[in-house]
Amino acid sequence: RPTKATILTMATASALVLAACGGGDTAADGDGGGADGRSLRLALNQTEEHPSFIALENFGSTLDEATDGRWSIDVYPNETLGAQAEALQLVSDGSVEMAIVSGPQLENLNEDFVVFNLPKVFDDVEHQMSVIHDPEITGDLYASLEQSNSVTVLGGFTQGARSVYTTFGPVTTPDDLAGKKMRVQESDLHIAMAEALGASATPMAYGELYTGLQSGVVDAAENNEVSFHTQRHYEVAPHWSQTNHLVGLDYLIINSDVLAEMSEEDRAAFDEAWTAAHEEHTELWMTATEEAIAAAEAGGATFNEVDEAAFDAVLAPLAEEFITNESQQALFDAARAAAE
C-alpha cells in the first residue's frame, strides 16, 4: 500500500504538472468555459471508450450549456492526474476539483462506506442505483467527508457485477484460487475478500494491473467485463470466471469548497446535468458489457461458468465481520429494504 508520504509526494508532483499546464480556463482553449467560466478538472482512471468517460464528457457539455459557460468540466482519463488514491488526495486539498473513485477508496476515510462495498448488499445495477441516489439513505454518508476532508460525494456510477479472471486457467470454486496471488483494490474489505477466497491479496492501483498480470506479480484479478476489455487485461489473463461476487460502485466526488462557490441556480443546473449523466451511464452499461464480452472473446478470452454458491458461501461472513457499528447496520438495512 502506498504510504501517506508517497501519496503526498505524488500529489505534489501532480499539482506541479497541473500548475505548469495552466489550471485555469480561458475562452480561447476551446474546451468550454467562457472568459469568466470555471473549468473543473475531473480525474478518471478509465480509457476514452469507457462508459464513464462518455457520460462525464456529456455531463460537462450539458453543464457548460446550462450555465452559459460559467461552469464546465475537463475529464482527464487514463490516470493522467494520478491513480485513485492520489486523485482523492488531490480533490481533498483542492488541486483537482473532481474525481471518480471506487467505493473501497472512501472506505479508507470513513468506515461506513464499507457497507456499499460488500458482496450481496446490492442485487443488481438497478437496485444499486436506486439506493445510492436516495438522499434519505445516503445524505449523511455523502456529507460525512466535508468537515474532515473537504470532499463531497455526489452519487455514483455502477461498476456492474465483478468476476474473477486469471492468467492460469478457469476457476470453478474458491479452491482453484488457493495460494494464488490476487490483485485487489486498496481496502481492508477487498484484502479480506481475496483471503476468504483462499488467495493471497496484493493491493495495487488499477493502472498497474496490466503489467502486474503480465509479469506474474499477480496471477488473478477481479473486475467487470468492461474493465477486462478496455484495460486489455484479457490479453494477459484470458480466463474469465463468472463469479458475479459483488456489484461494484464508483463515486463522483468534488472538492466541497468548489461546490460552495456555485450560485443556487448553477448548483441546480449542475445537479440536473449529473442526474442525466448517471442515468445515461446506466443505460450505456449493458451494451458496453455485451460489447466487451464479444471483443474479449474475439481477442482469445474464454468466459467460464462457476459454482456461484461456493463463492457466496465463503464471502457471506464478510458482512458480519465488517458491519461493526450502528450507522453501518442502518445503511445495510436500508439498502436491503429497498431490494424487497
Binding mask 58-87 for ligand GCU (x = CB under 6 A): --------------------------x---
Binding-site size, ligand GCU (CB under 6 A): 9
DSSP string, 215-246: HTS-SEEEE-HHHHHHTTGGGT--EEEEEEEE
Q: Is 223 in the site for ligand GCU (CB under 6 A)?
A: yes
Q: Is 244 in the site for ligand GCU (CB under 6 A)?
A: no
Among 149, 202, 227, 282, binds ligand GCU (CB under 6 A): 227
In the bound state with ligand GCU, the residue whose beta carbon lies nearer, of 269 and 296, is: 296
- Minimum CB separation of residue 52 from ligand GCU in Å reads 7
Instruction: For residues 320 and 64, give the distance between their C-alpha atoms in angstroms, rounded to a whole number.
Output: 45
The grid coordinates listed for 196 are: 476468504
Instruction: For residues 94 and 317, give the distance between their C-alpha atoms in angstroms, rounded to a whole number.
Output: 38
The closest of 20, 80, 72 to 44, measured between CA atoms, is 80
Instruction: For residues 146 and 160, give the distance between their C-alpha atoms in angstroms, rounded to a whole number.
Output: 28
- Minimum CB separation of residue 206 from ligand GCU in Å reads 4
Taking each helix axis as running N to C, give the angle between helix 264-298 and helix 125-132, from 0 to 180 degrees, rounded to the nearest 10. Answer: 160
Scan residues 112-131 and list those touching ligand GCU (CB under 6 A): none
In the bound state with ligand GCU, the residue whose beta carbon lies nearer, of 31 and 57, is: 57
- Minimum CB separation of residue 114 from ligand GCU in Å reads 16
Q: Is 163 in the site for ligand GCU (CB under 6 A)?
A: no
Q: Is 45 in the site for ligand GCU (CB under 6 A)?
A: yes
In the bound state with ligand GCU, the residue whose beta carbon lies nearer, of 41 and 50, is: 50
Contact 226, 204 (CB under 8 A): no
- Minimum CB separation of residue 261 from ligand GCU in Å reads 27
- Minimum CB separation of residue 102 from ligand GCU in Å reads 4
Q: Is 206 in the site for ligand GCU (CB under 6 A)?
A: yes
Burial of 127 (0-12, 13-18, 19+ CB in 10 A): middle
Q: What SS3 state is found at 158? A: strand
8-state DSSP, 302: E
- Minimum CB separation of residue 209 from ligand GCU in Å reads 7
Contact 56, 46 (CB under 8 A): no
Among 79, 176, 250, 280, binds ligand GCU (CB under 6 A): 250
- Minimum CB separation of residue 181 from ligand GCU in Å reads 15
Q: Is 202 in the site for ligand GCU (CB under 6 A)?
A: no
Q: Is 158 in the site for ligand GCU (CB under 6 A)?
A: no
In terms of residues, how long is the chain? 340
For residue 111, what are the contacts with CB-CB under 8 A and spacing of at least 6? 324, 325, 328
Instruction: For residues 183 and 237, give the distance between their C-alpha atoms in angstroms, rounded to a whole number.
Output: 12
Binding footprint of ligand GCU on the chain (CB under 6 A)? 45, 84, 102, 159, 185, 206, 223, 227, 250
